Structure 1
Amino acid sequence: MAGLALVALLAGCTAETPAARPGPTAPITTQTEEYAAGRSTPVLDPIYPEHGTDALDVLHYGLALDWSPTKRTLTGTATLRIRPTKDAHSLTLDFKPYTIDVLTLDARPVTGAVTREKLVVETPVRADVPVTLVVGYHGKPSQTPMPSQRGDTHPLGLTVDSQGGVWTMQEPFGAFTWYPANDHPSDEALYDIAVTVPTGWSGVASGTPVGQDGNTFRYRSTVPVASYATTLAVGKFRKSTAKGPRGIPVTYWYRADDPAVLTHLKRSTTLLSWLDKRFGPYPFESAGVVVVESGSAMETQQMVTLGNFFSMVDARWFDLTTLHEFAHQWFGDAVTLTDWRDIWLNEGWALYAQKLYEKETYNISEADFVRASRQRDGELREKYGPPSRPARNQFGASNVYYGGAAMLRQLHQALGDERFYALARGWVREHLNTQQSRASFTAYVNKTTGHDFTSLIDAWLDSPTTPPETGPLPA
């Protein structure tokens, strides 16, 4: 939860399949070749192994969702194109215990149940023989606990706000609170999301806007998205549009009772241009921000989810938070970590981009920048340990932000501006829409620079204390 760190810095029930009940119409077809870009190599997470599975690869999610503010009820039809990765007697996905109304596999009714945040579909599958699972469901959303001891966190997943709308933030997991998912970043997929809402309300989701039919808002992701980077928000929003770098469309959704926030949001195009100039072209077809009733922020893909808390602070904090989340569109969304051990790979890049912007915009000297960064890094290593070993109950602790950013600063110092930014742009360009790890990052740095930076990277990621300063490479 990038925004949470900035603030720090700065029971399961079972639902057997009943008779079919009509739900929203799924917005997609199910031809496997259409979804080849959604193919992944899922892994079991070493920190949160209870979320996600390596037994299947979801290629595409078609989500048709209907939110009732008066009943506080979500009704949905999820159509999943799934590639099993091994022979199995059943399919298992992460899912909250909604009432299941329809459950079919390849258009045939099947038996399944939701128990302890898992949907188990009792039907055999074969490795690499894709299947289409349809789940119709309804119920009142509930959240899942955040695995953190920080005081600025809140439960994860779909949240009902004070006006009867909903929003979600879900890192490291929580997408399963509103649709059945293989809720792990190693299994990225394509998405079609249709959100139906009452008249006068708006439905917002991650992906590229592809039109509105009456009260149904549609979004599509033709490049892979990790489940934690999807978003859903329903509210009485106002909408504003702009053009970002290279003409990309930018959309702002903000609450009608907070019109002043639009002044801040309009700074987004400047922030995106700053990032584009240094890290290469914005990696998606569209960008945007939706403002929700939260004290946090999240780098949800193509549509940053920003808590309204940030409209209550000064313009500097708003800019830094928004830039941080936009930086994740390159580092975390376009290139995604393979598992949660490498959260520094997302947060280190985003924080370093934020610090570079802050230093440049607010005239912070290099000496003050280095001194403050090293001091904070030392404090965090002493409290939380090195960034390469995040604790299960300390998700998003600030050591993974500062340690990763400090390592990148040392690389920057060693390489100089031209070579460092070339390295950053190449990392995104050459690994676009893939999942990467510490090993692949280290290999890329060494190959691209022609120097062995393994010891430097290892020191910053593994040392219990702040590593010593090093100088630039010899000319």
Structure 2
Amino acid sequence: MRKPVIVVATTVSAALIAACQSGSDAATPTGSTGQPQPRSSAASTPTGSTGSSGSDAADSNPPGKPGVSYRAALSHPVKDSYYPKHGTPYLDTLHYGLDLDWRPRAKRLTGIATIRFRITTARDSVRFALGTPLHVSKVVLDGKRVSSTRSGNSVTIQTGPLTTNSRHTVAISYAGTPALTQEPAMRSDVQKDGFHIGRTGNTWTFQEPFGAFTWYPVNDQPSDKAYYDARLTAHRGQQGVFNGQLTSSVKTGDSTTNSFHLDKPASSYLTTVAFGRYTHQEVTGPHGLPVNYWYADRHSPMLPLIRKTPQMLSWIEKTLGPYPFASAGFLLVPGNSGMETQTLVTFSDQLSKPDLYETEGDVVHELIHQWFGDEITPTDWKDVWLNESLTMYLEYRYLIDRGYTTESKVYGRLQRGQDEVWRVMGGPPGAYRHDDFGDMNIYDCGALLLHNLEKAYGRAKLDAALKGWPATAKYGNSDRTKFAAYMSKALESKAGPYILHWLTAKTTPAPLPKQP
């Protein structure tokens, strides 16, 4: 997620810094436009084996990927320590096939979600999150119609006895007008999460830490990753857009049906969907990578900046290695935020100020997240700093490299008291306030930590460690304990205890001495 806009906090910060310590503070490729052009055949809904037990082999052949197993989507969901009411720990979703139809005039969404899932403990019912306004009309489990009940933002399916580790396929038909959910945050740009509906019937989503449930049945927690395919039908000149690569586009009268395939498993908060009068442009990035831009006429001021994506990816690859997915790109939407949705960054048009380096920093920030946050994702929301701190450190490196700022300006202000301000206002980065998700403490405090490690061990050694981190749980999940242990080994040091102390310290820890 992009950094929060600091408004009131800046006045408070100045006073707190003065109380802590005195000191000054400073701080294009081309391609065709028009209708989407398919690059490969349309994805199909997975069949796999139905019924009770099954192995990974039984779950082979995800859509559009013959011979590929669901093994990469096997997860170990947990009860989230920060937001335990969201997510179902016994449910391991493997694949979502979403067939959605959006009617902009009626502002009505009709959907069928076909979900392949694994049960981690024996039981006779399963629960998916689904927004209250969406009425469930039919549920079919393993080819047989079953009953379901609603309670708040959830639907419980009466499955009958399911054995541990068994695999099943459920198809849930639903319809309604999605409603947003309150985000547990104090920042102004993301007070509401989920499926946003614009004045003209256009739609878009932001949903970190949760909110996917506002538009499809889902296990809405970061520890459960799954494959995705989507078939989106839009009307009245609109087009539907989803993560991954467009596989087909069919126009019938005033309706357009676009199909998308996401090549690697994703957590639910990293999915995106939008309906609007979009133009699609595809260009070529590093190593022949397809880079997709989805935008409306109103987004033109942002285009010069997002068209720097191939160059930005090349810059990131110098430190982190090859881009980890089959496609990249940007989906431009209304609002005032940005989100690292997997393979297709969701970015607001109100940030369209290409002349300001802060906006360029936001763009490269979301691209860096494709490695830190998307390829490797926190198991629990207490470790959201793993996403933002590592990404913020590299964003500052980019801005310094481009001459927009200097190392002394960035880290001088943090070391002189701003780091401590963030800890006082929102809590330490690894123990932030539950009602203050996504504030600057999880960004800047951790960036200073990485800067201190760089000064202690050298940039080359730290870069090698950062490059290797996503591979420790490639396309999976991890946590602070594993990161600390990995860094101790990668840096051949006792960096781990320093990292763990940094995460929960109420005041700024002293920098590490330079290591031999």
TM-score in terms of structure 1 length: 0.93
Corresponding residue of 2:142: 106
Corresponding residue of 1:82: 117
Corresponding residue of 2:229: 192
Corresponding residue of 2:485: 443
- Percent identity reads 36
Corresponding residue of 1:123: 159
Corresponding residue of 1:28: 45
CA 54–5 in structure 1, closer or farther in 2 if over 3 Å, else same: farther
Deviation track 1:358-384 (CA, whole Å, cap 9, x = no partner) reads 111125333223212223211101112
Matches of residues 65-76 of structure 1 in structure 2 within 5 Å?
A: 65-76=100-111
Question: Which secondary structure does the structure 2 equivalent of 1:281 belong to?
Answer: coil
Instruction: Quote the offset at 1:163 in angstroms.
Output: 2.3
Q: 1:265 aligns with which of 294, 301, 306?
A: 306
Runs of 5+ unmatched residues, structure 1: 11-24
Corresponding residue of 1:166: 203
CA distance in 2, matches of 1:163, 1:132: 36
Instruction: Quote the offset at 1:322 in angstroms.
Output: 0.6
Instruction: Quote the offset at 1:298 in angstroms.
Output: 0.4
CA distance in 2, matches of 1:372, 1:360: 19
Corresponding residue of 2:52: none
Matched, 1:48 2:83: yes
Corresponding residue of 1:211: 248
Question: Which secondary structure does the structure 2 equivalent of 1:257 belong to?
Answer: helix
Matched, 1:37 2:56: no
CA 364–317 in structure 1, closer or farther in 2 if over 3 Å, else same: closer
CA 385–230 in structure 1, closer or farther in 2 if over 3 Å, else same: same
TM-score in terms of structure 2 length: 0.86
Matches of residues 56-455 of structure 1 in structure 2 within 5 Å?
A: 56-97=91-132, 98-124=134-160, 125-198=162-235, 200-214=237-251, 215-312=256-353, 314-362=355-403, 364-374=405-415, 375-455=417-497
- More displaced stretch, 344-353 vs 376-385: 376-385
Question: Which secondary structure does the structure 1 equivalent of 2:86 belong to?
Answer: coil
Instruction: Give the partner amino acid of 2:4.
Output: L
Instruction: Quote the offset at 1:82 in angstroms.
Output: 0.9
Instruction: Quote the offset at 1:138 in angstroms.
Output: 0.8
Instruction: Give the partner amino acid of 2:60.
Output: E
Corresponding residue of 2:22: none
Instruction: Give the partner amino acid of 1:4.
Output: P
CA 368–349 in structure 1, closer or farther in 2 if over 3 Å, else same: same
Aligned residues: 460
Instruction: Quote the offset at 1:3 in angstroms.
Output: 4.4
CA distance in 2, matches of 1:290, 1:369: 30
Runs of 5+ unmatched residues, structure 2: 11-26, 28-41, 49-58, 62-69
CA distance in 2, matches of 1:156, 1:187: 19
CA 6–189 in structure 1, closer or farther in 2 if over 3 Å, else same: farther
Corresponding residue of 1:14: none
Instruction: Give the partner amino acid of 1:148.
Output: A
- More displaced stretch, 433-442 vs 388-397: 388-397
Kindly indicate whether the alpha-carbon contact (under 8 Å) linking 1:377 and 1:403 is maintained by their aligned counterparts in 2. yes
Kindly indicate whether the alpha-carbon contact (under 8 Å) linking 2:377 and 2:387 is maintained by their aligned counterparts in 1. yes
Instruction: Quote the offset at 1:129 in angstroms.
Output: 1.1
Instruction: Calculate the aligned-residue CA RMSD, in Å.
Output: 1.9
Kindly indicate whether the alpha-carbon contact (under 8 Å) linking 1:26 and 1:63 is maintained by their aligned counterparts in 2. no
CA distance in 2, matches of 1:6, 1:111: 48
Instruction: Give the partner amino acid of 1:202.
Output: Q
CA distance in 1, matches of 2:404, 2:280: 34
Kindly indicate whether the alpha-carbon contact (under 8 Å) linking 2:231 and 2:257 is maintained by their aligned counterparts in 1. yes
Instruction: Quote the offset at 1:293 in angstroms.
Output: 0.7
Kindly indicate whether the alpha-carbon contact (under 8 Å) linking 2:263 and 2:326 is maintained by their aligned counterparts in 1. no
Instruction: Quote the offset at 1:273 in angstroms.
Output: 1.3
Question: Which secondary structure does the structure 2 equivalent of 1:320 belong to?
Answer: helix
CA distance in 1, matches of 2:452, 2:286: 29
Instruction: Give the partner amino acid of 2:326.
Output: E
Kindly indicate whether the alpha-carbon contact (under 8 Å) linking 1:167 and 1:231 is maintained by their aligned counterparts in 2. yes
Question: Which secondary structure does the structure 1 equivalent of 2:443 belong to?
Answer: helix
